[in-house]
Each structure stands twice: as structure tokens, then as C-alpha cells.
């Protein structure tokens, strides 16, 4: 039928809404399963993967080839879940990775800070029997907002709060989860949201491009370089400054790749210092 991505602020009720929506539609609800699937299929270290899941990479990690490999695997795993269709994907830049696809509904769940803090305190109290400090929870929520915003800005150069990234932005200040679920369900069930063959091909092409990126980030000769990858119907285009011959060989070995094209980028020389 369709794909729903949900970006949500901590304490705004996004997870509860996503799970209820999945039950209502009969969709596969995907959250932490992305991590476990990436660990199982690619043999990554679970602790590092969890650290990079929602947090902004540190200054050191931004230059670390292993970090780039981990992030690429996370994105590839998300896209592979999307390819199965009839799925609800929580967070992890789904709103960006699946942009421009007709059968994808991109939702943002927000709420005022004070209300999110109260909800988090109530939830924690119900689960543990202990009431956390309000100031500490407020700091936790602010830090989570900052980490998610920083991660999105670093990876995709976009603002996570930009309404242009979403088809629907919902403030849950006055809306209970059941109301929000009904709103989203009505949209998803409309014929305009039905999965088309052209939409499936777009998702499949992004999956293929991401798999090539994983291969390039794994190969010793290409992982040091930033090589842009695009794919369409099995034709892969590589764009970079170095190691493109090896990159072609790596890309050709990825299942589903029919042809590889390259575009060499020349770095202009540094002009001499003029006094």
C-alpha cells in the first residue's frame, strides 16, 4: 500500500503513534529492528552502531572511515526495509532518504517542550516507580533534540525541523495518539498513496546505490575517498576525485548492477599567495 516515515521529538508520542498505526494498518513497524538487522547482516559492533544511530558524530568520527561505513550500513538497512513496502519507519532520516517518492508519507510529530518533559516524567514513573528530577529530564530532552538536529545537518545538510521535509507535521499538544493515528490512516488509505511500479523502481534504485556505497566504504582502496553514488534501473553513476577505476570494479561486483558510469572531479590548484 504505502510507506510511512515518522520523525519525532522525544516525549511527543511518536513511538506510541507509530506502533498503533502499524497495528491499525497491518504494517511492519520498524524501529530498533534496523539496528539488530544491520548487526546481523553486516557483522557490525552493536555498541558503536547504537551510538551513531541518532547522535551527531564527534569531530574525530567525521574523519573516520569506519564511522562512514557504519552510517552507510544504517541507511542501507533502512532503505531495504522500505523496499518491502507496507512499513512504518521510525526516525533515522527516513524523511530525507525516501524523499520524492509518491507512495511515501513523511510525518513529523512535535509537541511543546514543557509537555514533552511532563510526559517523559510520567512514563518513567510508571515504568520504574521512581519520579525523575524535572530539570534533569528537561536537559535530557533538549540534548536529544540537539543531537538529532546535529546528526541530520551533518549527514544531509538540512534542518530536521524544516516543514518542507515532511508531508504532515502534527503537534500532539491537544491530540491523543488515537486521533493522530486516525488522521494518518485516512491519508495512507487514499488511492493517491497506493504504491506504483515507478515508485518501486525509485526505491529499488536507492537501495542499489546505497549497497554500492557500503561496498565502497568497505573496500580498502576506496573507503578513504568520498565517492558520490547514484543509480537508476541498474545503471550506477560514480562521481569522485580519486580511485575511480577501483570503484568501478567494486560497484560491478554488487548484485543488481548492470552498468557503471563515472565522472571524474578535478580539484582546482591552490592559487599562489598574492601579497
Q: How far is CA 78 from CA 14, 60, 98, 260, in A?
A: 18, 25, 10, 24
The tens digit of pLDDT for each residue in 186-245 reads 999 999 999 999 999 999 999 999 999 999 999 999 988 889 999 999 999 999 887 789
Task: Please report which confidence band the pLDDT of residue 81 belongs to, taking 50, 70 and 90 as the band edges.
Answer: very high
Largest CA distance in the chain: 70
CB atoms within 10 A of CB 249: 13
DSSP-based three-state secondary structure for 16: helix
* Domains of the chain with bracketed CATH: 3-193 (3.40.50.300), 197-264 (3.30.1340)
pLDDT confidence of 68, banded at 50, 70, 90? confident
At residue 267, the pLDDT reads 57
| 155: CB partners within 8 A, 6+ apart | 71, 93
The reported pLDDT for the residue numbered 274 is 44
- Could you tell me the pLDDT band of residue 65, with boundaries at 50, 70 and 90? confident
| Residues 98, 50: Cα–Cα separation, whole Å | 22
What pLDDT does residue 66 have?
Answer: 79
Q: What is the mean pLDDT of residues 108-134?
A: 95
Using CA atoms, how far apart are residues 213 and 232, in angstroms rounded to an integer?
A: 14
Alpha-carbon distance 188 to 201, whole Å?
20
* pLDDT at site 275: 38
Q: Would the pLDDT of 158 be above 90?
A: yes
268 confidence band (pLDDT: 50, 70, 90): low
Amino acid at each position: 500500500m504505502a510507506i510511512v516515515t515518522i520523525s519525532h521529538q522525544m516525549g511527543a508520542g511518536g513511538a506510541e503513534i507509530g506502533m498503533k498505526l502499524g497495528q491499525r494498518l497491518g504494517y511492519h513497524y520498524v524501529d530498533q529492528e534496523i539496528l539488530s538487522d544491520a548487526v546481523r547482516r553486516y557483522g557490525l559492533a552493536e555498541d558503536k552502531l547504537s551510538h551513531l544511530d541518532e547522535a551527531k558524530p564527534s569531530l574525530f568520527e567525521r574523519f573516520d572511515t569506519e564511522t562512514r561505513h557504519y552510517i552507510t550500513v544504517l541507511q542501507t538497512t533502512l532503505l531495504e526495509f522500505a523496499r518491502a513496502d507496507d512499513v512504518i519507519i521510525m526516525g533515522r532520516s527516513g524523511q530525507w532518504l525516501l524523499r520524492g517518492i509518491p507512495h511515501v508519507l513523511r510525518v513529523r510529530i512535535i509537541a511543546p517542550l514543557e509537555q514533552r518533559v511532563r510526559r517523559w516524567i510520567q512514563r518513567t514513573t510508571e515504568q520504574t516507580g521512581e519520579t525523575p528530577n524535572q530539570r534533569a529530564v528537561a536537559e535530557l530532552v533538549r540534548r536529544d533534540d540537539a543531537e538529532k538536529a546535529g546528526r541530520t545537518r551533518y549527514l544531509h545538510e538540512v534542518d530536521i525541523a524544516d516543514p518542507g521535509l515532511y508531508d504532515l507535521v502534527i503537534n500532539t499538544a491537544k491530540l491523543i495518539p488515537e486521533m493522530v493515528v486516525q488522521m494518518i490512516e485516512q491519508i495512507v488509505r487514499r488511492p493517491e498513496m497506493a504504491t506504483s511500479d515507478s515508485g518501486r523502481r525509485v526505491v529499488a534504485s536507492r537501495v542499489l546505490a546505497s549497497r554500492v556505497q557500503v561496498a565502497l566504504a568497505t573496500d580498502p582502496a576506496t573507503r578513504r575517498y568520498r565517492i558520490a553514488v547514484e543509480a537508476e534501473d541498474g545503471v550506477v553513476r560514480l562521481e569522485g576525485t580519486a580511485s575511480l577505476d577501483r570503484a568501478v570494479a567494486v560497484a560491478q561486483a554488487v548484485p543488481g548492477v548492470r552498468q557503471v558510469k563515472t565522472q571524474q572531479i578535478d580539484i582546482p590548484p591552490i592559487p599562489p599567495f598574492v601579497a
